[in-house]
Chains A and B, each alone.
Chain A
Amino acid sequence: MLEIRNVSKRYSGIPAVESVSFCARAGEVTGYLGPNGSGKSTTMKMIIGLIATNSGSILFDGKPIHSDLMAYKQRLGYVPEEPYLYTHLGGAEYLVMVAQLRNLATKLATERIDGLLRSFALYDDRHVPISAYSKGMRQKILLAAALLHNPDLILLDEPFSGLDVGSSLVLRSLIVELAARGKVVLFSSHELETVERISSHIVILHRGKIVADDSIERLRTLMSLRTLEGIFSQLAVEQDTAAISKQIADLIHA
């Protein structure tokens, strides 16, 4: 189980997240939602140990992640929001590098890399430099790199970004399948429909604070709203979307 306890982070005194607490349990998919700038990616970066918290603690299986960060990272798979990769390497070469850095046995790594590249339809382009890959292909490489070592904790920050319809459907099923196999899955996305379909637990962040932390069913019942979109709009969207869209249309029409 992943536990976030009263975590706060400030940048130059400005709070990015404030007293955030929630749990992501093994066997369930936790959807982490929030508008742009609400602190989702900051939380993700704190969970992977990239940035330090100002206060609070992050625990995985009851242990603070910083007590043995290297052992924790051995069990972590992370797909970042932006596809940062070594673009001078080929797709397969990049995955080999990741496997070596994760100390995977060569034979096992080769089998898994071949299998993942075939499953993600990248096998024919495995020796092409990543610099020539499309955004979707880069996203697939990130997904393959995150899953290569069979992690116990999977963090996905906008994992559907750039993927085509077919690949998105595969990923959607894959997330559910991984959770069913006992993994802790935490993912953030702006695609509310997808989040609603695959998440059993929802955490909504707004202006750096948690405004909802429950199962979708309970949120629907509590708020008397039928869809996640309705729940999200009520909790985290401050703008009058209809008025803004009319304003933009009027502006370009004038």
Chain B
Amino acid sequence: MHKTLSMERRQFRVLYRAFLMRVIDLESLSADADTSRLLAQFAALFAGISYLFTFWVIFAGARFSPDFLWVMEHFLIATTMLVVGLFSVLCWDSIFPDRRDVLVLAPLPVRASTLFRAKIAALVAALSISVLSLDIISGLVWPRFFSVTNGGGYLGFFHSLVAYWITMSLAAAFMFGCVLGVQGVAAQLLPRQQFLRLSAARRPF
């Protein structure tokens, strides 16, 4: 029993690593892309965007009107949703285990549950990395200004910080869920050929 569990844990780790490196459909980006480098480049790009949302605050001074803060909150949420939406479309093919996963892993002693758990864990990890890198700077700086609306001080900042990250995480999960829903409904309603055509149509994105 213990041996089986440790084997399943090991298999989970191996598959998780393999799936994480395949989350984004690299063939739609470049044929022989280096996966780990590409993921790091994505993270760096998102962190750069996060920096762009923040660095000018130094020059603008520390005081913003409540209306501006409200707009900024909306803007940051919308940006996170947009990026996660694009990310979800990019990893469209790896959301569910595909034919290749099944045929590669079928002869191996891997349970279907381990395969699914590894797939979900890889997607959640990739999604978390993208949200974290996108908000890594703005998620620390902007809650300081948003805290003005809930009293300021250390406690206000802490509240804003927690609220910011929960909001961004839920916005990302909502967007990802929407894409997942569209894919699930399309897979159920459309004939297979049309579904494949729809999957191919999102490639230019």
Residues of A within 8 A of B (CB): 45, 48-50, 69-71, 73-74, 76-78, 80, 82, 84-86, 88-89, 97-98, 100-103, 129, 131-132, 146
Contact = CB atoms under 8 A, between A and B. Distances in A.
A222 B39 CA distance: 64
B26 A76 contact: no
A50 B32 contact: no
Interface string B156-169: 00000000000000
B7 A84 contact: no
B109 A101 contact: yes
B135 to A, nearest CB: 28
A70 B109 contact: yes
A131 B32 contact: yes
B177 to A, nearest CB: 27
A54 B21 CA distance: 37
A141 B99 CA distance: 19
Contacts of B21: 88
B11 A101 contact: yes
B196 interface: no
Given A84-B104, A98-B108, 8 more contacts: A70-B109, A73-B109, A74-B109, A86-B104, A88-B22, A101-B14, A102-B108, A103-B10
Given A50-B102, A101-B15, A131 B31 contact: yes
- A interface, over-half SS: mixed
A78 B107 contact: yes
B111 interface: yes
Given A88-B26, A100-B10, A103-B7, A146 B31 contact: no
Nearest to A79: B107
